[in-house]
A and B are shown apart, each in its own frame.
Chain A
Amino acid sequence: GEDVEQSLFLSVREGDSSVINCTYTDSSSTYLYWYKQEPGAGLQLLTYIFSNMDMKQDQRLTVLLNKKDKHLSLRIADTQTGDSAIYFCAESHTSSGTYKYIFGTGTRLKVLA
């Protein structure tokens, strides 16, 4: 079945760039997403990329998609302590006419002051 994998932890120093990686198995993915979850809260959409795009930039966030290798990454420039959170990668596709979303296990980003 479909699967999305991420590393569990990442630690960076404040001001450095963070790169969170994700791999997925579904070749029919339509969109790929990055969500942020702060403690005690739900998931908030950070950004998404259409599967036929290679890159998307949104302020401090850069998403890179390598469709051949089924690899997605999220780069956060000038990482701040407020960026400390769990980041989820997800993909969407249609199956039997229904939209489905598969989420990774989440990467816990810790930003050191």
Chain B
Amino acid sequence: DAGITQSPRHKVTETGTPVTLRCHQTENHRYMYWYRQDPGHGLRLIHYSYGVKDTDKGEVSDGYSVSRSKTEDFLLTLESATSSQTSVYFCAISDGTDTPGNTIYFGEGSWLTVV
């Protein structure tokens, strides 16, 4: 299994509070991603990073910000959580080379409930 750790794994928070999810990797991969998974929508990309301090928006970035100050850590912040952000959040990594498959690997997920 790829060395990806997400924390917290489960969190319940109140509407309007800030929340930060952390993704830590031990693979030294260049690319890191945050996805959310919702029924009927599959996986949707929130933000991604292609290096330290290099980030870009995905298809559902509104209400989220990210930071990557070290290769191994990628943080996802909900500045003011809303009920629509109740979801399962997955961190993923890839090395961004032309190695066979150029595979993306996933963490175990963080279940967030906003009440």
Interface residues in chain A, defined as those with a beta carbon under 8 Å from any beta carbon in chain B: 8, 30-31, 33, 35, 40-45, 48, 50, 88, 90, 92, 98-101, 103-106
Contacts and interface: CB of A to CB of B under 8 A. Distances in A.
28 contacts: A8-B40, A30-B102, A31-B102, A33-B101, A35-B106, A41-B109, A42-B90, A43-B106, A44-B106, A45-B103, A45-B105, A48-B103, A88-B42, A88-B43, A98-B31, A98-B96, A99-B31, A99-B94, A99-B96, A99-B102, A101-B33, A101-B45, A101-B92, A101-B94, A103-B42, A103-B43, A105-B40, A106-B42
B99 to A, nearest CB: 11
Nearest to B103: A45
Interface string B55-88: 0100000000000000000000000000000000
A104 B42 contact: yes
Contacts of B100: 50
Nearest to B96: A99
Interface of B: 31, 33, 35, 40-43, 45, 48, 50, 56, 90, 92, 94, 96, 100-109
A41 B33 CA distance: 17
A104 B33 CA distance: 16
A101 B104 contact: yes
A59 B45 CA distance: 31
Query: Which of A31, A42, A50 is the most central at the interface, judged by chain B CB atoms within 10 Å of its CB?
Result: A42
Contacts of B40: 8, 105
Nearest to B44: A103
